[in-house]
Amino acid sequence: MFYGLLRRIGGWAALLALAFLARGETPLAASARLIAADRVIRPGVPFTVGIHIRLPEGAHIYYRNPGDAGLPTRVEWTLPPGFTAGPLQWPVPARFAEPPLMSHGYADEVVFPAVITPPPRLDGIAAVRLAARVDWLLCKESCVPGGADVALGFRVGDAPGNPTPDAALLARFVARVPAPAEGWRFHFEEDARRLRLFARAPAGWTPARMRSLIFIPHAEDLTEPAAPQVWRATEAGEYVLDLPKSARGAAAGARLEGILREGDGHPPRAEELFFSVSAPARSNPDPSAP
Amino acid sequence: MKKMLITIVTATLAVAGAARAESAAAEVGKPAPGFTLTSTEGKEHSLADFKGKFVALEWTNYDCPFVKKHYGADNMQALQREFTEKGVVWLSINSSAPGKQGHFTPEVWKKRMAEWKVAATAVLLDPDGKVGRAYDAKTTPHMFIVNPEGVLIYAGGIDDKPSANPADIPGAKNYVRAALEQALAGKPVETPTTKPYGCSVKY
């Protein structure tokens, strides 16, 4: 919503970069491009593209819920007539602790996938070009707002094309978008000061392993990002996590949406456990719950 | 046994300490945490000195792009001038730790303040971050307003456009101006808490 106004930030960021150069410092800058696994578009057949962002060493950009500081990364599509873009998909973020503050984002590189749906007919069209504007806040010790205009050309055809050199990169980050996990059940309760997430875990989840799970809500400013997260086992065989609300104390509403991830993401590991959470509000709060 | 007792006592003290810090934390509608800090001019200022006046607290870091947005466009100084003329005390506070971004010597502070024509009552230095932590100051800028009775009546962002782009200032709703205008007119503050935006405070 705010970002329509941010469109002109590119020119402003360039000025800022010039100011850094004038002071003899290396400007902090990231680069972005649009990637696809296949450069052939078939009429009416949805396909996934990704916005690939490479970051300088030690810097990060922000998740949809950036935490205590920072701004969410933002993407606006410019598509040919009849094409639609699905919601931006957010790979699992890492947590960046700057005591007493906590933020959520990505270091090194990230791909934000999105599903593009072409119109059912593309008669007489041989090639199309998809474009997007991406804006981010890049922070190391200091922060620099930045962004890029990215675009990619496609051929219209009847059969899939050959995988591009970016197919594996895109697939790697599609696999890092948290999805619902089997065997888990969630619900939540809330009052003015806190949210309580209840989890029924699959067999094999010990209290010790539960304590490695960190919850990050989708919504910005709902909880205190730096508050310690301590899962407790209840007598009913569930686990419960108390999440203090932010000072603004907004209500989560009917569902608490977010992700659970094992550990904070440092150092990055090839095999990480993470999944999405969509917890309904408990209809009959259990007054005996601790 | 003695060692165990010491451990228990230490743990109890730690818990008590944490509880005390929590109850003293800044909360809108409650008394604002008191403090005494030294200004860039080497003068001590206490919040208690300003009882009877409205006090605006502005967490700042002159090298943060979000702070530069508001100073580069004369937005922050315009607020400082407008409300200090109406009797409001305006204290900018810097909680950057030594060696971190935005931590300057008093000489550099004076030069930077002159460059931007800063119109705050005083710029206070909080290098150990104690006051910043007491207020739970998270970003630069992060704004607070204390009423003449010493009660915190606003905590949050400067406006409703979380960006580092000065082009967003004219279309933004300035929460601090609205809150000060309402409070000076004897009305309750309509939006007493908002999410602050900006760089993290460099504790």
Cβ separation B200–A6 shorter than 8 A? no
pLDDT score for A213? 97
Is residue B1 pLDDT above 50, yes or no? Answer: no
DSSP A216-243: EESSTTSB-TTS---EEE-TTS-EEEEE
A225-A226-A231 Cα angle (round to 5): 90
Total tally of structural domains belonging to chain A: 2
What is the interface size between A and B, counted as CB pairs within 8 Å? Answer: 84
| A64 and A145 in a common domain | yes
Residue A60 located in a structural domain: yes
φ, ψ for residue A202, nearest 5 deg: -65, 165
| Non-local CB neighbours of A53 within 8 Å, separated by 6+ positions | A30, A31, A32, A61, A73, A106, A109, A110, A111, A112, A134, A136
| A214 and A168 in a common domain | no
Q: Domains of chain B by range and CATH? A: 35-200 (3.40.30.10)
pLDDT score for B11? 41
Of A174, A193, A210, which closes a domain?
Answer: A174
Shortest CA distance to B103 belongs to which of B135, B44, B61, B41?
B61
What is the share, in percent, of chain B residues with pLDDT greater than 70? 88
Cβ separation B165–A71 shorter than 8 A? no
Q: Which residue of chain B comes nearest to A74, CA vs CA?
A: B163
The answer to whether B78 touches B116, Cβ cutoff 8 Å, is no
Residue A289 located in a structural domain: no
Give the closest of A101, A246, A249 to B200, CB-based: A101
A36: β partners: A49
Is residue B15 pLDDT above 50, yes or no? Answer: no
Q: Which residue of chain B comes nearest to A3, CA vs CA?
A: B163
| A225 and A163 in a common domain | no
pLDDT score for B19? 32
Tokens of A254: 């009917």
Residue A75 located in a structural domain: yes
Please give the radius of gyration of chain A, using alpha carbons only, rounded to the nearest integer.
21
How would you write the pLDDT of chain A (290 residues) with one tens digit per residue?
444 444 444 445 544 544 544 444 567 899 999 999 999 999 999 999 999 999 999 999 999 999 999 999 999 999 999 999 999 999 999 999 999 999 999 999 999 999 999 999 999 999 999 999 999 999 998 899 999 999 999 999 999 999 999 999 999 999 999 999 999 999 999 998 999 999 999 998 999 999 999 999 999 999 999 999 999 999 999 999 999 999 887 888 899 999 999 999 988 777 889 999 999 998 655 554 44
φ, ψ for residue B185, nearest 5 deg: -85, 5
| A143 and A83 in a common domain | yes
Residue A42 C-beta-side C-alpha neighbours within 13 Å: 9
Q: What is the mean pLDDT of residues B79-93?
A: 98
Owner of token pair 């800028």:
B141
Residue A74 parent element (H or E): strand A74-78
| A110 and A19 in a common domain | yes
> Which one-letter amino acid corresponds to residue B108?
V
Is residue B172 pLDDT above 90, yes or no? Answer: yes
| A32 and A54 in a common domain | yes
pLDDT score for B151? 98
Residue A286 located in a structural domain: no
Of A155, A174, A193, which closes a domain?
Answer: A174
Cβ separation A5–B155 shorter than 8 A? no
Cβ separation A101–B27 shorter than 8 A? no
| A76 and A15 in a common domain | yes
Instruction: Tell me the ipTM for this assembly.
Output: 0.82
- How far is B171 from B188, CA to CA, in rounded Å? 24
Cβ separation A9–B101 shorter than 8 A? no
Residue A132 located in a structural domain: yes
Q: Kindly report the nearest CA distance between residue B112 and chain A, in angstroms.
A: 16
| A201 and A130 in a common domain | no
Q: Which residue of chain A comes nearest to B140, CA vs CA?
A: A69
Query: Where do the DSSP E strands lie in A162-286?
Result: 185-190, 194-200, 213-217, 231-233, 239-244, 255-262, 274-280
Write down the mean pLDDT value for chain B.
90
SS3 B83: helix
Q: What is the mean pLDDT of residues B90-101?
A: 97
Q: Kindly report the nearest CA distance between residue A73 and chain B, in angstroms.
A: 11
Of A152, A174, A196, which closes a domain?
Answer: A174
Tokens of B53: 């006046």
Chain B residues with beta carbon closer than 8 angstroms to that of A27: none
> Which one-letter amino acid corresponds to residue A178?
P
pLDDT score for B23? 39
Residue A290 located in a structural domain: no
Structural domain of A34: 3-174
Residue A255 DSSP code: E
| A135 and A38 in a common domain | yes
What crossing angle do the helices spanning B175-184 and B75-84 adopt, rounded to 10°?
A: 10
| A200 and A145 in a common domain | no
Residue A14 parent element (H or E): helix A9-22
Shortest CA distance to B119 belongs to which of B179, B159, B167, B74?
B74
CATH number at residue A143: 2.60.40.1250
Q: Kindly report the nearest CA distance between residue A234 and chain B, in angstroms.
A: 23
Residue A180 located in a structural domain: no
| A148 and A80 in a common domain | yes
SS3 A116: strand
Chain B residues with beta carbon closer than 8 angstroms to that of A220: 195
Cβ separation A2–B163 shorter than 8 A? yes
Of A158-162, A236-240, B3-7, B76-80, the range with the lowest mean pLDDT is: B3-7
| A163 and A69 in a common domain | yes
> Which one-letter amino acid corresponds to residue B97?
A
Residue A160 located in a structural domain: yes
Peptide bond into B141 cis (omega under 30): yes
Cβ separation B200–A68 shorter than 8 A? yes
By residue count, chain B amounts to 203
